[in-house]
Amino acid sequence: MGSPVVAIDETTPLEDVIRQLSDSDVMARRDAAYELVRRGREAKSAVLALTEALDDDDQQVWFQATQALSRIGSDAEAAIPALNEKLKTHSGQRLQRTAYALGQIGPAIIPEMIIDLEGDNRNGREGAARALGWLRADAAPALPQLIAVLNDDDPEVRTQAVVTLGLIGSQAEEPLGQTLHREEERIRLGALNALAVIGSTNSDVAEKIRRLATDGTVDQRTSALQAAVATRVDGDRVLELLVESLADEEEDVRTTAMTGLSVAGERVRLVIPRLISMLESDDHTSRQMAVETLGRIGSPASSAVPALLEIINDERLKPDVVQALSRMGGAAVPALLDAAVQELDDEAVTWALAGMGGVAGPPLIEVLSDNDPARRAIAAQAFAKMTPPPESAIERLREALNDESPAVRAAAAKALGRCGAVADSAKSELLEATKDSDAAVRSSAMLALIDVGAGIDEMLPLWREALQDSQVNVRRRVIEAIAQVGEPARVLSPELLKSLEDLDSSVRSQTAEAIGVIRPDVNEALPGLILLLNDTDPDVKSAAAQAIGAYGGEAVPAVQTLTSLVSDETTNVAIAAMSALGEIKQAASEAAPKVSEVLNDTDASRRVAAVACLSRIELDSNGLVTRLIAILEDEDWGVRKAAMVSLGEFGPSSVDAVPKLFELLDSRDDRADAGRALRRIDTASPDAMAVYLETLRTGPEASQIFALHYLGKLEASAAEVLPELEEGRKKAKSDRLKGAYDKAIAAITPPTSG
């Protein structure tokens, strides 16, 4: 028995706390360790006891003992040998905690850390590099050994050496510079990465870095560019190097150069002319890199706006040019407006203005009062594309609803809608705009009213009138607005159902979509929707099928017509029909034979829809599981995914699919979906034991954990594999895998009779 446990607090004598650290009761040891952590350097006489506690079986005691030693700091020098031994046997979090404790003890650790860096223990090398990092500049005596492990076979050791060299700082610069000529590429790369952290101030080292940025492997050029950007000498030469590297054949190098230029500050103005000249290159990649780089630089590159506008009609570059222009700041607005006026059929410049957001607000507000209606329209359209426009523009946009130009009025209405509820002061003007002589203005105002917060009672009279509007665009937009409101607009069902017969197919399609949202009485809506399933326009048929699906099991009268569409020549129609049948569920089971035929279609998207549909309408679940297992062999990932989702939904009934799902765990494309299906099935069959064992022996860790889980499900019937599991537990490297072994072994081991 241990000594009597005392209640520990800050008044407990230190010798009593130390004594309790070796108590047989784990809770007592934990309390003692916690208290020693709290006391920090005052607990320096506990170093010996804490060193012994590093061997404690309880993780919390071990952790707190390690933490206490780190808080004692340099007075814990006597613990260095014990901590160093643990460093060589620990991994993961334990290695990091131990390295931290060593690092907090201070420079006294350097001799042993040097030995570790030169040793053949992989954990010792990584841990030593980590521990030395906490010393920062004081770790300089270990520079030769740290540089040597830049060539270590283990990438984590190399990475940690780079980090520590960077933390040592300027003292490491010259030794690292001397390694840049070494033949071993890993040493050169590590040195470059460390120099990128340090930031070279030595002209000779900086010159070596720049030379490496134009020669050698992709990794070397990329790392050298990063190191060059960090140098604090010869800045103009670095800028020139970055511009030249934009033409590199490798994307990683080009991207690194672009990033370097984007963080170069005001000095980057020196190379803007070079970047502008690249916009005229015959090489598409060079032009694209110049555009992207100018965009990243932003407002300091505003002098490039005219040159960017010259190439804005290049379809391959247009998205990048628009984005670049949007980052040029308010100073670029006049040039963009002039360009937009000249290219009224092209919205690209307007999107660039909108992309500037609030920066473009003041100049655009001013332009709303311009004498040129084209310029006013562009400004209003830019506000209409912002998300949201600045509140400072609301008052001027309200005035613009009375502009002589319909284009300005329509765009102003859209922009006010984008402002949302903060523009509720504009409701009266927007209500008036719904009577505008221009259809675009009327429709834009109709939608904007909802966005600014107009109530349903205010909108109903307007909507009823607009549903009879002579202009297709107005009718279509009001139906869109009704759908946006949803079920509260159901009172308009009679008028809306009449729109299913509209002469314009886009209105019929929009109406069907709206019905699917607001869901009028099924007996009133279904006949018209079924008629639209035979419409001449595929979009109308597709929208009608989707609307029918929204009624679920109430839509049984539509099953026959929907079934006839599962093989429609238009893919979207066929998919929508199968989706609707799936929503009707097993009440649509009569469609199963026809849908099953689609499983052999050459179009993968149709096969995906068929799988999803069958999983919901098929009455013979056992037969369907058999077919789904066969579908797991499909060449298309999306089809296999749909089958796995369906098998997972069937849960334990899909147990026969488990062996095949285990096979798919080996596929990078299928692994995640197979895992999800296995978690939902969660039922093991003794017949599949060989599959579980094969996965356990050869699969990656995540797959091994699944195998252990399923073996555990077999309980005592898997007792014959216990020896193999116990042996595997000994070899398991991660705590997660060890835990999975423990659970499986516990589940399989027969209970002992008591």
Q: Is the pLDDT of residue 356 over 80?
A: yes
Q: Identify the helix (H) or strand (E) that includes residue 743.
A: helix 735-748
Residue 612, both tokens:
């999803």
Asked whether the bond before 111 is cis by omega within 30 degrees of 0, the reply is no
d(CA 682, CA 175) in angstroms, rounded, equals 58
Q: Is the pLDDT of residue 282 over 80?
A: yes
CA atoms within 13 A on the CB side of 524: 14
Residue 212, both tokens:
């490496």
What is the tens place of the pLDDT at every residue in 591-621? 999 999 999 999 999 999 999 999 999 998 8
d(CA 29, CA 39) in angstroms, rounded, equals 16
For 630-681, the DSSP string reads HHTT-S-HHHHHHHHHHHHHHGGGGGGGHHHHHHHTT-TTTHHHHHHHHHHH
Give the single-character DSSP code of 250.
S
Query: What is the arithmetic mean of pLDDT over 116-141?
Result: 96
The per-residue b/e assignment along 22-31, b for 16 or more CB within 10 angstroms, e otherwise, is: ebeeeebbbb
d(CA 182, CA 188) in angstroms, rounded, equals 7
Confidence of residue 732 (pLDDT cuts 50, 70, 90): confident
Whole-structure pTM value: 0.63
Q: Is the pLDDT of residue 718 over 60?
A: yes
Please count the helices (runs of H) and the strands (runs of E) in the chain. 46, 0
- List the single range of 318-332, 519-533, 542-556, 597-611 with lowest mean pLDDT: 318-332
Confidence of residue 10 (pLDDT cuts 50, 70, 90): confident
Q: Is the pLDDT of residue 344 over 80?
A: no
- What pLDDT does 345 receive? 42
d(CA 158, CA 664) in angstroms, rounded, equals 35
- What pLDDT does 754 receive? 46
CB–CB of 642/608 below 8 Å?
Answer: yes
Query: What is the arithmetic mean of pLDDT over 106-115?
Result: 98
Residue 57, both tokens:
């079986």
* CA 552, 553, 555, 558 torsion-angle sign: positive
- What pLDDT does 516 receive? 96
CB–CB of 140/169 below 8 Å?
Answer: no
Tallying the residues shown for the chain, one arrives at 754
What is the tens place of the pLDDT at every residue in 304-341? 999 998 898 888 999 999 999 999 988 888 888 888 87
- What pLDDT does 5 receive? 56
Confidence of residue 6 (pLDDT cuts 50, 70, 90): low
Residue type, 136: R
CB–CB of 537/509 below 8 Å?
Answer: yes
Confidence of residue 3 (pLDDT cuts 50, 70, 90): low
d(CA 587, CA 609) in angstroms, rounded, equals 18
d(CA 147, CA 180) in angstroms, rounded, equals 11
Confidence of residue 346 (pLDDT cuts 50, 70, 90): low
- Secondary structure in 3-state letters for 18-48: HHHCCCCCHHHHHHHHHHHHHHHHHHHHHHH
Instruction: Report which of 160, 17, 155 is spatially closest to residue 95, judged by C-alpha positions.
Output: 160
Give the single-character DSSP code of 502.
-
What is the tens place of the pLDDT at every residue in 628-678? 999 999 999 999 999 999 999 999 999 999 999 999 998 989 999 999 999
What is the tens place of the pLDDT at every residue in 13-27? 999 999 999 999 999
- What pLDDT does 4 receive? 56
For 217-242, the DSSP string reads -HHHHHHHHHHHHH-SS-HHHHHHHH
What is the tens place of the pLDDT at every residue in 142-199? 999 999 999 999 999 999 999 999 999 999 999 999 999 888 889 999 999 999 999 9
Confidence of residue 1 (pLDDT cuts 50, 70, 90): very low
d(CA 630, CA 628) in angstroms, rounded, equals 5
d(CA 643, CA 344) in angstroms, rounded, equals 50
- Cα torsion at 600, 606, 609, 613 (round to 10°)? -50
If you average pLDDT over every residue of the chain, what do you get? Answer: 93
Give the single-character DSSP code of 389.
P
The structure tokens 């419409």 sit at 535
Query: What is the arithmetic mean of pLDDT over 403-419?
Result: 97
Other beta carbons within 10 Å of 565: 23
User: Residue 514 in 3-state DSSP?
Assistant: helix
Angle (CA) 391-397-401 rounded to 5° is 150
Query: What is the arithmetic mean of pLDDT over 420-441?
Result: 95
CB–CB of 284/316 below 8 Å?
Answer: yes
Query: What is the arithmetic mean of pLDDT over 348-359?
Result: 90
How many angstroms separate the Cα of 637 from the Cα of each of 645, 646, 661, 677? 12, 14, 14, 15
What is the tens place of the pLDDT at every residue in 32-77? 999 999 999 999 999 999 999 999 989 999 999 999 999 999 999 9
Instruction: Report which of 563, 551, 545 is spatially closest to residue 518, judged by C-alpha positions.
Output: 551
Using a 10 angstrom Cβ sphere, with 0-12 exposed, 13-18 middle and 19 or more buried, the burial of residue 654 is buried
d(CA 573, CA 525) in angstroms, rounded, equals 20
Residue type, 381: Q
Query: What is the arithmetic mean of pLDDT over 462-473?
Result: 93
- What pLDDT does 339 receive? 83
Residue type, 676: R
What is the tens place of the pLDDT at every residue in 666-716? 898 999 999 999 999 999 989 899 999 999 999 888 899 999 999 999 999
The structure tokens 């030995």 sit at 115
Residue 227, both tokens:
């190191």
Q: Is the pLDDT of residue 406 over 60?
A: yes
Q: Is the pLDDT of residue 222 over 90?
A: yes
CB–CB of 466/478 below 8 Å?
Answer: yes
Other beta carbons within 10 Å of 523: 9
For 684-714, the DSSP string reads --GGGHHHHHHHHHHS-HHHHHHHHHHHHHT
